[in-house]
Homo-oligomer: A and B are copies of this chain.
Amino acid sequence: MSTKPKLFSPGPVDVAKETYEAMCSPTIGHRGKDFEELYASVQPGLQQIAQSSRPVYLNTASAWGAMEGSLRNLTRKKVLNLCCGAFSDKWYDVSLRCGKEADKLQVEWGEAITPELVRNKLSEGGFDTVTLVHNETSTGVLNPLTEIVKAIREFDDIMIIVDTVSSFSAVPINYDELGVDVLLCGVQKALALPPGISLMIVSEAALERAKELPDRGYYFDFHEFEKNHAKNNTPSTPAIPHIYGLRERVEFMLAEGMETRFARHEATNQLTNDWLLKHGFVNFAPKDYQSKSLTCIKNNLEIDVPGFVKAVRTKHNFLINGGYGKIKGSTFRISNMGNETIETQQELLAALDDVIPEFL
């Protein structure tokens, strides 16, 4: 048996035995009916989960591929990157590396992007694309998506790309009502698959815009995804095991019911918050903007974070995370994404209770 720890880090998360079993279904030819059936079988469920009348493209790349690809499909003038943590900040850097003109709206790590800030920045003019990370996994900040989208829509001709990597299927997202142009996510977060693919929902308007970008390439070309979707297929060779696994998870989610699922994430997240308050810690994210899928905890008690993380692993075989990037050590993170229940989250927190006294 493996001694690998159970993951309570904010992605990848623990993967169910049933998911692995599904992933081991026999490999099939990806240009034939067997694959078309598999592809078609996941679409209605994914669309229901995202409340999307548009298809859900299956992208054989992790989320940064979708994030870069979206820029290459959409930014012809200038992109505004909304930056509030490691991943949203990096998107600005990636924009420049794609040869795009880019500017950023930067807030302090641990703060949220507000509609007012976005409105002010866009008033400078010249932008045709905005990128937003819904749930900034490095800081545990859940940005006010609906309000930000409304603020952006006061301006004309702007494509909105939203990364829901660590919020998709953990909190309600209604693609059709929201009215963004690209919604993308990974699968190793709340969807609880192993990493390897990403999902993209792309608006009709985004397909129109993409036509204006002749150098958008092939691998992430929205039009290739759309064209192949019509044949229940993908532009490039797909990661078949992941799509089998996705089918199993989609069935699981629909059986669970999305409202129940959201409530479960809310409840397990509340447990983590209760735990940190009990010990005198502070949530790194502001009260109204706290992620429901993971918790970034400010190390205001100045414990030895690496030592704590190591002790939790050694003694209980659970992996929590010691903070990311420039807030490594001054924060630590606990995930409640994916398959965790009240019971399993309590198991983790009991383990933390057991270990923490020697660090306080």
- B97 and A238 within 8 A (CB): no
Copies held by the complex? 2
Cross-interface CB contact of A219 among B21, B64, B319, cutoff 8 Å:
B64
Residues of B near A186 (CB, < 8 A) are: 237
Q: Chain A at the B interface: mostly helix, strand, loop or mixed?
A: loop
- Minimum distance in angstroms from A68 CB to a CB of chain B: 5
Bound CA span A15–B29, Å: 12
Bound CA span A102–B273, Å: 57
- A7 and B24 within 8 A (CB): no
Q: Does A280 have its Cβ within 8 Å of any Cβ on chain B?
A: no
Q: Does A105 have its Cβ within 8 Å of any Cβ on chain B?
A: no
Q: Does A293 have its Cβ within 8 Å of any Cβ on chain B?
A: no
- B240 and A194 within 8 A (CB): yes
Q: Does A241 have its Cβ within 8 Å of any Cβ on chain B?
A: yes
Tell whether A65 pairs with B72 under 8 Å between CB atoms, given A23-B241, A94-B218, A240-B195. Answer: no
- Minimum distance in angstroms from A320 CB to a CB of chain B: 10
Residues of A within 8 A of B (CB): 2, 4, 7, 9, 11-15, 20-21, 23-30, 32, 34, 60-65, 68-69, 72, 93-94, 97-99, 186, 188, 194-197, 214-219, 221, 235-242, 319, 321
